[in-house]
Amino acid sequence: MITGPGQAGVQDVEPPSAATGEVVVDVARAGVCGTDVEFYTGEMQYLHDGHAAYPMRIGHEWMGTVSAVGSGVDPAWIGRRVTGDTMLGCQRCERCHAGFHHVCQFRDEIGVRNGRPGALAEQVAVPAWALHALPDTVDDAAGAMVEPGGNAWRSVDAANLSAGDRALILGPGTIGLLCALFARAAGAEVHLLGRPGRSLEFARTFGFDGVWTESELPDLAWHAVIDSSNAPHLPARALELVEPGRRIVHVGLAGSPSLIDTRMLALGDVTAVGILGASAGLDPTIAAYGDGSVDPRPLVAATVELEDLAAILAGTRPEHAGAGPKIHVEIARQS
């Protein structure tokens, strides 16, 4: 639980109950996201917009096993390995009815928005409609990578790539690397751009067609540019780089406003797409992980226990960690 900026720890709380239409999941594994770190530091915009407040229970990248169901829920869910949608629309408004529950004005977000408890805990309560079953071919590590994978799948889908197209991904973090993996699975020529350092060196281990710093980036035709970074200048750079008539996709968020020249957008007949959340990408991501066309597990640098989480949020990297960007928490139920 995060109780204030720079204040986090493990606390005993009342276990969740399965309300009408909901289930309780015994969490087996959960990922630590940059959003979680921003809540810890106090930088996350929702804290300033009134959509989140301390104390809060974080965790929105998770998998586990359904242990209880509420009234109106099929008991066949009990014992099934699942993950779930983070974005919990009200299910009543026009946006939800039109399939846009992830941008519902009244939505909760698990571990993120409106105080909805998250999954960096032994158990989490989830509406049954938000569940997604995991096949045996998706292990626990991959299951806890479905949520970030869904964001990446949606980004690549929005880029409208065809086999043989050349894609440039800005930012070699978790989402950027997953975008690159999905783009390669779609048959694209894949390049990544980032700052010199561990992340860029790790990206080179995947054998992508090119991994570059800004000063090294070659003058090539980029048929799609996906910005998964948090650099304020890169959205404008994406627009400068992309081929006319093609697409730029923005899935990364900077801590300050990012500006683009809409004259360039219009005169280049470029389509700009914003991506929020994994909702529509969860099932395709599970399918890709299940058939092996995308394997997210190399991105997991270390798996720690819940008691180690506060140190991870504070920026401590486990001594045994590999080079990947993602830290997982393996959660053992206390007897």
d(CA 204, CA 210): 8
Per-residue pLDDT for 273 more than 60? Answer: yes
Q: What is the mean pLDDT of residues 8-25?
A: 96
Q: Two tokens at 168?
A: 């440039």
pLDDT at position 35, please? Answer: 95
**Mean of all residue pLDDT scores within the chain:** 97
Whole-number pLDDT of residue 332: 74
- The whole-number average pLDDT for the span 249-269 is 95
Mean pLDDT of 231-244: 97
Measured N-to-C along each axis, helices 282-291 and 146-159 cross at an angle, to the nearest 10 degrees, of 100
Q: Kindly report the pTM of this predicted structure.
A: 0.96
The average pLDDT across 314-329 equals 96
* 255 — pLDDT class (breaks 50, 70, 90): confident
Q: Let me know: does 155 contact 251? Beta carbons within 8 Å.
A: yes
Handedness of CA 136, 140, 145, 146 (dihedral sign): positive
- Residue 140 CA to residue 119 CA, distance in Å, equals 14
Helices 146-159 and 174-185, axial angle in degrees (round to 10): 60
Give the pLDDT band of residue 119 (cuts 50, 70, 90). very high
**Residue-wise burial string across 83-122, b where 16 or more C-beta atoms lie within 10 A, e elsewhere:** bbbbbbbeeeeebbeeebbbebeebbbbbbbeebbbbbbb
Residue 278 has pLDDT above 80, yes or no: yes
Q: Which of 320, 332, 122, 202 is nearest to 312 (CA)?
A: 320
Give me the percent of the chain exceeding a pLDDT of 90.
Answer: 98
Residue 307: DSSP 8-state? G
pLDDT confidence tier of residue 167, bands split at 50, 70 and 90: very high
Answer whether residue 320 shows pLDDT above 80. Answer: yes
CB 267 within 8 A of CB 241: no
Name the DSSP letter for residue 61.
Answer: E
Q: What's residue 164's pLDDT?
A: 97
What is residue 334's predicted lDDT score, i.e. its pLDDT?
A: 61
Is the pLDDT at 333 greater than 80, yes or no?
Answer: no
Q: How far apart are CA 140 and CA 48, in angstroms?
A: 34
